[in-house]
Structure 1
Amino acid sequence: MTHAPEKAAANILSMNSIEVLYDNVMLAIKGVSIQVPKGGMVALLGSNGAGKSTTLKAISGLLKAERGRVSRGEISFDGSVITDLPAQQRVEMGICHVIEGRRVFEHLTPDENLEAAAPMAMNRATLKTEKQRIYEYFPRLAERKNSQAGYLSGGEQQMLAIGRALMTQPRLLMLDEPSLGLAPFLVAEIFSIIKKINKEQRLSVLLVEQNALAALEIVSDGYLIENGRVVMHDTAQALKANSDIQEFYLGGGPGTNFHDIKHYSRRKRWLS
């Protein structure tokens, strides 16, 4: 009896049997349960359209803007139920969601972008300290801090999007496809910085990725979601060693064609 509260306290985020409806008709995710330990890094893997982004929006409260809602289940953040809380209140509790697509203010400089993302109550001294900390993590941003953000490279814009999120001093950072459209060397650089931030700041991270190989290099655990359901959960090491994961997500199978849907569906033994 004494172990259950300790286990709950060890997780900063718990999703239990969550279902999401769009327009009160379309069931987007079906009974999804995931946990993110305090100070941990967890990956949510899966192909395009599997339900990964919807899962993040359920956590951050952004479903309402897309006519979606959690129709079943419970979401807890650091022991408090947040299932029905508005998005802004979740931000104030420490949940920050970096949505897909590197959304930055293109007409502002990186420095102005960081200042715009800071909470209203943050004083000038803290603002300066936080900006300096972000520039230390992302030296490329420091070099370009007075350039117009719209002229930054894709990788630099992704760094700025993450930097903006860090200005809110989050306790849980959720990243949606941060590697999308980036060269492999940039993906490696950004993921290495995310891992460093996690280690030094004890910042909990939930990472949504199609690039399973890159994600499994930096997280401790991973969930595989397909057709709106979690179909596998294990340590990163175990997932990398799994033959199905290797074949369909890590490119390890001989003669495999990811886009051959019939073959892909037939060989996914975890769905059978």
Structure 2
Amino acid sequence: MALLTLNNVEVVYDRVFLAVKGVSIEVPERGLVALLGANGAGKSTILKSISGLLKPERGEVSRGEVSFAGEDILALDPPDRVRRGIAHVLEGRRVFGHLTPEENLIAAASMHRDRGHVTALIDKVFGMFPRLKQRAKAKAGYLSGGEQQMLAIGRALMTEPKLLMLDEPSLGLAPFLVDEIFDIVRSINADSGVAVLLVEQNAAAALDIAEQAYLIENGRILMGGAAEVLSSNPDVAEAYLGGNHKVDYHAVKHYRRRKRWLA
């Protein structure tokens, strides 16, 4: 059963620029879905259309439907979408640098009135991220990039989401930290049953943990299906996974026009 459904969604900025063009995707309950594509393809815009964060950037969903747990959520404000169970971890982590990790977690728990429940959630997050517990009293601005990403994910988990949306969680991290972050994402999905919609440029790492994946280019979904099917596609491998041989782009005239995107 689909937890999240986007049906023929279009997003316009400043009522002029069409950034997302007829996108339809699904995220199953307890599913782990990757959304792949290059910079500027429309990945982050899709996440913001789900979380309701388009308006501050003068964007809007001009067409289509966004349904969550069977409910049309386009008319809901971002806080109401959070209360429905949608958590969005923005690109670049964006933790509150002047607060400690513990204070960051408390700041995300305003929807909970029971202090005992908030304490239990903090303990659960620190159990998932032992490194954060060790740095619980340090200022978040002094944490490493990997620790800040863990804090951003932990802060989202304080809302007890049904859907966790992650925008480029590997950005700017060393390879060993990327592996650790993706192991954590896989664990959250498998152990807590939280559905994950993962936006990533690191296609190899994303396809390694995802069950389903979509490929977006220039605001359109070009391909979707099982992650292993996309991994085995020769054009996807060449463009996003490094390929097995080098292409001399100077010798291949009009390469982009010739790209086949075989199904």
1:185 and 2:176 equivalent? yes
1:270 and 2:261 equivalent? yes
Residue by residue over 1:23-55, the C-alpha shift from the partner in whole angstroms, topping out at 9 and shown as x without a partner, is 111000000000000000000000000000000
* Preserved contact between residue 10 and residue 64 of structure 2 (Cα < 8 Å): yes
Classify the secondary structure of the residue corresponding to 1:270: coil
| Aligned twin of 2:64 | 73
1:15 and 2:2 equivalent? no
Classify the secondary structure of the residue corresponding to 1:28: strand
CA distance in 2: counterparts of 1:93 and 1:258, whole angstroms: 48
Point out the structure with the larger helix share.
1
What aligned pairs does 1:98-137 form with structure 2 within 5 A after superposition? 98-137=89-128
What aligned pairs does 1:139-158 form with structure 2 within 5 A after superposition? 139-158=130-149
* Preserved contact between residue 248 and residue 258 of structure 1 (Cα < 8 Å): no
| Aligned twin of 1:58 | 49
Unaligned runs of 5+ in 1: 1-9
| Aligned twin of 2:16 | 25
The one of 90, 94, 98 equivalent to 2:85 is 94
CA distance in 2: counterparts of 1:258 and 1:238, whole angstroms: 26
| Counterpart residue identity of residue 207, structure 1 | L
1:82 and 2:79 equivalent? no
* Preserved contact between residue 248 and residue 264 of structure 1 (Cα < 8 Å): no
| Aligned twin of 1:244 | 235
CA distance in 2: counterparts of 1:79 and 1:141, whole angstroms: 36
Q: CA RMSD in A?
A: 1.9
CA distance in 2: counterparts of 1:22 and 1:48, whole angstroms: 17
Unaligned runs of 5+ in 2: none
| Aligned twin of 1:42 | 33
What aligned pairs does 1:185-204 form with structure 2 within 5 A after superposition? 185-204=176-195
| Aligned twin of 1:7 | none
Identify if the C-alpha distance between structure 1 residues 259 and 81 changes in structure 2 by more than 3 Å, giving closer, same or farther: farther
Deviation larger for 68-77 or 122-131? 122-131
Identify if the C-alpha distance between structure 1 residues 248 and 236 changes in structure 2 by more than 3 Å, giving closer, same or farther: same
Classify the secondary structure of the residue corresponding to 2:261: helix
Runs of 4+ in structure 1 displaced over 2 angstroms?
119-122, 256-264
Identify if the C-alpha distance between structure 1 residues 186 and 73 changes in structure 2 by more than 3 Å, giving closer, same or farther: same
* Preserved contact between residue 236 and residue 261 of structure 2 (Cα < 8 Å): no
With structure 1 as the length reference, what TM-score do the two structures score? 0.92
* Preserved contact between residue 22 and residue 68 of structure 1 (Cα < 8 Å): yes
| Aligned twin of 1:227 | 218
Classify the secondary structure of the residue corresponding to 1:269: coil
CA distance in 1: counterparts of 2:167 and 2:250, whole angstroms: 22
